[in-house]
Structure 1
């Protein structure tokens, strides 16, 4: 469709969460931050700062829900959130376009392709002529149903995701451009039977660096509107979970050929993807960190990373730390961020600063690797105004400082630690429930190891027990035959 001579009406909606089906955590409505109307509109700075392409557009904020990654979304929560999206779409005056801001790895209990189902329901309401453009995380999944229901679809090109807002802007800008210049583009879609964790596909390193650099080259070709490669989400057990490529444009022959080329490059590189940092067991990593002269020395407690969907209370690593004399019975200062345990936080707050408290810490949601761990510690700090954690405390056991939070919270910034009086730059060892280090921690780390720890986002995919993914798939079927990788025009 082409719209000229009047203001375009473009709706904004979506649900964004990354959820592990291997985590016992369940995401409820309380885990989501829901925005509507002006609050939703205010989320997108580029709508105010880019008059060169936003002028002449009436943005219609409907409802958007986003959450920290976690376990699968309950059916009740999904029904409530998706129900409001569909209700508001039905009630909205006629739209020309819709900006669909999602993650792409939302798992819902009892469903196998939540985003695909939601996109199909959205399409049924808005009809065939309204252009729908989706922005996604590169760790999302692109099923045929999802790709078919959308007119434009794109994803991040950087991991860590330093281009997340650039991607949302691109999705909205391409939508407006198409509404003005006319016509639905074609989409060349192909899935690649490879499923790898994000920690093996960081665009900081080869081969992902070169594979993703080619996306920009494809996008720049005449006849191509956009190109995207999805790594997929490794910690859900659903048929859609695999890598995918979509090239969008008007030249069918070109976009098909380029989608095949990008898909082939990803497949060809599959064996070359390696972890973003040296890896080892937790005891091995601790031994190296303690002996090293590099400070601060960072370790990733990767199996329970809350920003990948981990429960955030797996206590296996804590148990190892407490049984490591070089950590608790030495002059070293070790920071551990963080374990969610509202009962332990409440006990520490009640005891007060400087008091000694005995708690059963962690292992209450994800008790698989290790149940609650008995800890007797000094209450070193309390922050009762953390906007994410609610209340956070620091518990000291010898040289170890354990951050415990009332609500799940990732620790990605120096300010997260400073709020509790903890100074990571001055620490000897900093252990974070994370996969690849986020940019601020990455720049801070004098050295870094990725510990292969258990949890709902275990980096060792083969020991998680996938049964519903499509097979054969690399690396589950190491000797599988090369796939055809023939893109479909949707």
Structure 2
């Protein structure tokens, strides 16, 4: 028996000014994807979904062709040549023959010419393989769906958590269902529906309402065997494509489609009835910082969610740090901010040098009419590092990461981390690799949205959400949507639930 395994992940913010090229698809460190044995080695020992596929292959004594390991930080539209290269690598392996294809994808990739990049990949795989070949797909909680993706998959399962701390477990769910299919114990059929609602990402997490008991119900139905797999996807709202929105995907046994349809209806009805609860109200930045000053016990996490590279932000907008300095907050760890030019300057000056530099603000965001505005800082170069660390927290555990060269600038009692590569701080390694323990600071400024809770949540005394500017803003009225399906709540108050789209894929 032979399995083709591939990891290809990118969450595309179509409003981001940062293009995504092949070299951005890294495996934690280095540039570009890994292939074959190098891809397997990059995956082994980590908490990726593809690692669960490897474990199943070992249990079944199956040969593995690990076609590719390619993971990029969220950013702008993927270049056509990069997408074609990635697809070709997977299709080439699949076309050489196998018994199943196991994919570790994101579900919100947009490539030049392909608004549903994952759907296009599956279409190509289905075209080059025998009818009925099982294709299992693990997807991010923020996946968007088209009929192409649903039609060409055998089994789909999505992360049940946000922060995503069940990535390996999601792969195990896919592997379990594909194994049952291979052994003739299951005949799954995919049922799905996409609702016309753009949920705010700060209201999506299944750890709390309004999503919590919706996801709990889906997970319980899967555990009880009511259906093969049940997944609720918050969707990625910052992609201007026709497929954005909250979706529910059910893998039901061919002989029990009624049970799958009932569950689909129940979950969608519950989500739609709570649509107003998925809206996040923003407040002005000065007001949020002033509130943080009133909190007596630290660490206080200040979350600058409008400029989060984990959702495609540029990570060099300085407004929130500027306001913190203006209001006199002390004992602060802040960052990491993306600014390769300033990093180069600080490395040239060296540790201990007193410098005045213009940090950040190097990137314009024309989609939102925002101009880059650097922040002039005067301080001392505290530390210089290679920016590399291994994730020890619960999200992407074991993955080797790189911020590129990283400099720590001390401005009074504020430590500002500046790096060559953008990285959302979901793990404390972004700071501890430089010998700085954020748990000992009064305030910690992070460019994140929810993932910070994985590594920083356990020691935070308070969390203050700061609605800074950027292409990850929760104010959807700022975005010039052109391709989104309309009407769409909350942009359109008169939106109504879409009719269910159901598919019985040819592979089922």
Q: TM-score, normalised by structure 2?
A: 0.88
Aligned partner of 2:82 among 70, 77, 85: 77
Provide the residue aligned with 2:91 in structure 1.
Answer: 86
Tell me the C-alpha RMSD between the 2 structures. Answer: 2.1
Q: Output one character per residue of 1:156-209: Cα deviation in whole Å (capped at 9) or x when no partner.
A: 111111111100111122112211125642111111111113211111111211
Q: What do the CA deviations read for 1:217-267 (whole angstroms, capped 9, x no partner)?
A: 322455621111111101111001111111112212221222121111111
Match of 1:5 in 2: none
Q: Would the aligned equivalents of 2:233 and 2:248 in 1 still touch at CA under 8 Å?
A: yes
Partner of 2:13 in structure 1? 20
From 487, 492, 495, the counterpart of 1:477: 492
Match of 1:441? Answer: 456
**Distance in 2 between the 1:395 and 1:150 partners?**
49
Q: Which is worse superposed, 156-165 or 419-428?
A: 419-428
In the alignment of these two chains, the number of paired residues is 472
Change (3 A) 1:472 1:279: closer
Using the TM superposition, name which of 40-49 and 94-103 deviates more.
Answer: 40-49
Indicate which of 282, 285, 294 corresponds to 1:282: 285
Tell me if 1:113 matches 2:116.
yes
Do 2:297 and 2:461's aligned partners in 1 also have CA atoms closer than 8 Å?
yes
Which of residues 331, 334, 337 in structure 2 aligns to 1:336?
A: 334
How far the C-alpha of 1:305 sits from its partner, in A, is 0.8
Could you say which residue in structure 2 is the equivalent of 1:489? 503
Greater alpha carbon shift after TM alignment, 456-465 vs 408-417: 408-417
Equivalent residue number for residue 196 of structure 1: 199
1:373 aligns with 2:375: yes
Query: Aligned residue for 2:174?
Result: 171
Q: What secondary structure is seen at the aligned counterpart in 1 of 2:309?
A: coil
TM-score (norm 1): 0.91
Task: Say if 1:231 and 1:452 are closer, same or farther in 2 by CA, change over 3 A.
Answer: same
Shift of the 318–72 alpha-carbon distance from structure 1 to 2, 3 Å rule, reads farther
Distance of aligned partners of 1:219 and 1:358 in 2 relative to their CA distance in 1, 3 Å threshold: same
Task: Check whether the contact 2:282–2:474 (CA below 8 A) recurs between aligned residues.
Answer: no
Alpha-carbon deviations, 1:415-450, whole Å to 9, x = none? Answer: 321222333222121110000232221111110111
Report the CA distance between 1:48 and its aligned residue: 6.1
The alpha carbon displacement at 1:30 in A equals 1.4
Q: 1:134 to 1:47 in 2, by over 3 A?
A: closer
Q: Greater CA deviation, 218-227 or 423-432? A: 218-227
Determine the C-alpha separation between the residues in 1 that align with 2:404 and 2:117: 30
After TM superposition, the structure 1 stretch with the greater mean CA deviation from structure 2, 137-146 or 255-264, is 255-264
Kindly provide the CA deviation profile for residues 37-73 of structure 1, in whole angstroms up to 9, marking residues without a partner as x.
233334254456568x832332321223111222221
- 1:457 and 2:472 equivalent? yes
- What residue number does 2:354 align with? 356
Aligned equivalents of 1:364, 1:76: Cα separation in 2: 26
Moved more, 461-470 or 116-125: 461-470
Q: Could you tell me how far 1:311 is from its partner in structure 2?
A: 1.6
396, 420, 428: which one pairs with 2:442? 428
Residue segments in structure 2 that go unaligned for 5+ positions in a row: 27-32, 44-49, 389-400
CA distance in 1 between counterparts of 2:161 and 2:239 reads: 21
1:266-318 Cα shifts (integer Å, max 9, x gaps): 1112122365xx96322112111122202111110001111122122223334
1:313 touches 1:366 (CA, 8 Å); kept in 2? no
| Farther-moved stretch of structure 1 (136-145 vs 361-370) | 361-370
- Would you say the 8 A contact 2:114–2:120 is kept in 1? no
Q: Alpha-carbon deviations, 1:326-373, whole Å to 9, x = none?
A: 13xxxx211211211111001001111111223222122345254233
The aligned counterpart of 1:41 is: 40
3-state SS, counterpart of residue 135 of structure 2? strand
1:30-429 equivalences under 5 Å are 30-33=23-26, 34-42=33-41, 43=43, 44-46=50-52, 54-90=59-95, 92=96, 94-181=97-184, 184-220=187-223, 222=225, 224-250=227-253, 251-273=256-278, 275=280, 280-322=283-325, 324-327=326-329, 332-366=330-364, 368-386=370-388, 387-429=401-443
Whether the aligned pair in 1 keeps the contact of 2:284 and 2:467 (CA below 8 Å) is: yes
Distance in 2 between residues matched to 1:109 and 1:356, nearest whole Å:
45
CA distance in 2, matches of 1:165, 1:326: 43
Asked if the contact 1:193–1:242 (Cα under 8 Å) also holds between the matched residues in 2, the reply is yes
Q: State the secondary structure of the residue aligned to 2:483.
A: coil
TM-aligned CA distance change 1:50 to 1:131, over 3 Å:
closer
Q: CA deviation at 1:379?
A: 0.9
Deviation readout 1:75-129 (Å, 9 max, x if unpaired): 2221222222223333x2x211100110001122343111111110111011322
Task: Measure how far apart 1:385 and its partner are.
Answer: 4.7
Provide the C-alpha distance between the structure 1 equivalents of 2:386 and 2:186, rounded to a whole number of angstroms: 53
Q: Distance in 2 between matches of 1:123 and 1:292?
A: 56
